[in-house]
Structure 1
Amino acid sequence: MSSTGPAAPRGARALLAALLRPAPSPPRVGIAVQAGITMLLVVGVPALLGRLDVGLLASTGALSALYLSSRSRHERLRRLPLVQLGLLAAIGVGAATRGHPVAAPLVLVVVAVGAVVLVSGTAVGPPGALFPVLGAGIAARLTGPASLGGDGLDPLLVLGCAAAGAAAAWLIVVAPLAIPSVRRRDRSIPVAPVRFSLDATGRTVVARVSAAAALAAVLAAVLGLDRGYWVVVAVVAVLQTGRGRRLTGIRGAHRAVGTLVGAVVFVLVATVVGLPAQGVLLAVVLGVLQFAAELVVVAHYGLALVFVTPLALLIAEAGSAGDPWTIAGTRVLDTAIGCAVALLVLVVERLAAGRARR
Structure 2
Amino acid sequence: MSDSSPRARQGARELLAALVRPDPSPPRLGIAVQAGLAMLLTVGLPALAGRVDLGLLASTGALSALYLSSRSRTERLRRLPLVQLGLLAAVALGTVSARLPALAPVVLVVTAGGAVVLVSGTAVGPPGALFPVLGAGVASRLTAPVSAGGAGLDPLLVIACATAGAVLALLVVIAPLALPAVRRRDRGRPIAPIRFALDAAGRTVVLRVSVAAVLSAVLAAVLGVERGYWVVVAVVAVLQAGRGRRLSGIRAVHRVAGTLVGAVVFVLVVGLIGLPAQGLLLAIALGVLQFGAELVIVAHYGAALILVTPLALLIAEAGSAGDPWVIAGSRVLDTALGCGVALVVLLGDHLVERLLRRPTAR
TM-score, scaled to structure 1: 0.99
Partner residue of 1:108? 108
Q: Is the 8 A contact 1:99 1:150 kept in 2?
A: no
User: Match of 2:262?
Assistant: 262
1:331 aligns with: 331
Instruction: Encode CA deviations 1:175-204: one digit per residue, 9 max, x unaligned.
Output: 000111111111111101111000000000
Q: Secondary structure at the match of 1:68?
A: coil
Aligned to 1:46: 46
Who is 1:287 aligned against?
A: 287
Tell me what 2:15 maps to.
Answer: 15
Measured against aligned partners, the alpha-carbon deviations of 1:26-71 in whole angstroms (never above 9, x if no partner) come to: 0000000000011000100100100000000000000000000000
1:310 aligned partner:
310
1:80-130 deviation line (CA, Å, top 9, x unaligned): 000000000000110121163211111011000000000000000000000
Number of the residue aligned with 1:276: 276
**Uncovered stretches (5+) of structure 1, i.e. residues with no partner:** none
- Identity percentage of aligned residues: 74
Deviation of the 1:7 alpha carbon:
2.2
Residue identity matched to 1:264: V
User: Partner of 1:141 in structure 2?
Assistant: 141
Following superposition, the deviation at residue 6 of structure 1 comes to: 2.0
- The letter of the residue matching 2:348 is V
Q: SS where residue 4 of structure 2 aligns?
A: coil
Task: Please say if residues 112 and 132 of structure 1, whose CA atoms lie closer than 8 Å, have aligned partners that are also in contact.
Answer: yes
Instruction: Report the alpha carbon displacement of residue 248 of structure 1 after superposing the two structures with TM.
Output: 0.8
> What residue is the counterpart of 1:218 in the other structure?
218
Q: What is the rounded CA distance, in whole Å, between the counterparts of 1:3 and 1:120 in structure 2? A: 41
Per-residue Cα deviation, 1:117-173 (whole angstroms, up to 9, x for no partner): 000000000000000000100101111122222111011000000000000000110
**How do residues 22-41 of structure 1 correspond to structure 2 at under 5 angstroms?**
22-41=22-41
Distance 2:51 2:8 in 1: 57
- For residues 6 and 357 of structure 1, the distance between their equivalents in structure 2, rounded to whole angstroms, comes to 28
Partner residue, 2:234: 234
The alpha carbon displacement at 1:4 in A equals 1.7
SS of aligned partner of 1:5:
helix
| 8 Å CA contact 1:61, 1:163 repeated in 2 | yes
In 1, Cα distance between the equivalents of 2:96 and 2:355?
43
Aligned positions of 1:63-78 closer than 5 A: 63-78=63-78
CA distance in 2, matches of 1:285, 1:293: 12
Equivalent in the alignment of 1:88: 88
Three-state SS of the structure 1 residue aligned to 2:5 is: coil
Q: Report SS of the residue matched to 1:254.
A: helix
Q: Give the partner amino acid of 2:203.
A: R
Structure 2: distance between partners of 1:9 and 1:342: 26
**TM superposition shift of 1:275:** 1.2
Distance 1:220 1:147 in 2: 20
Secondary structure, counterpart of 2:328 in structure 1? helix
d(CA) in 1 for partners of 2:283, 2:121: 35
In 1, Cα distance between equivalents of 2:309 and 2:71: 26
- Give 1:2 shift: 2.7
Aligned to 2:356: 356
Structure 2 residue ranges without an equivalent (≥5): none
**Residue type of the alignment partner of 1:90:** A
Task: Indicate conservation of the 8 Å contact 1:73/1:174, yes or no.
Answer: yes
Match of 1:79 in 2: 79
Amino acid in structure 2 at the alignment position of 1:130: L
User: How many residue pairs align between the two structures?
Assistant: 358
2:298 — aligned with what?
298
Runs of 4+ residues deviating >6 angstroms: none
Taking the aligned partners of 1:86 and 1:140, their CA distance within structure 2 comes to 16
Tell me which moved more, 31-40 or 5-14.
5-14
Between the aligned partners of 2:239 and 2:140, the Cα distance in structure 1 is 23
What amino acid is aligned across from residue 120 of structure 2 in structure 1? S
Q: Pairwise CA RMSD of aligned residues?
A: 0.8
Name 1:253's counterpart in structure 2.
253
**Alpha-carbon deviations, 1:290-347, whole Å to 9, x = none?**
0000000000001010010110111011111111000000000000000000000011
Give the TM-score normalised by the residue count of structure 2: 0.98
Q: Is the 8 A contact 1:99 1:141 kept in 2?
A: no
User: Which letter maps to 2:233?
Assistant: V
Distance 1:356 1:257 in 2: 34
Paired with 1:147 and 1:258, the residues of 2 have a C-alpha distance of: 34
SS in 1 for 2:27: coil
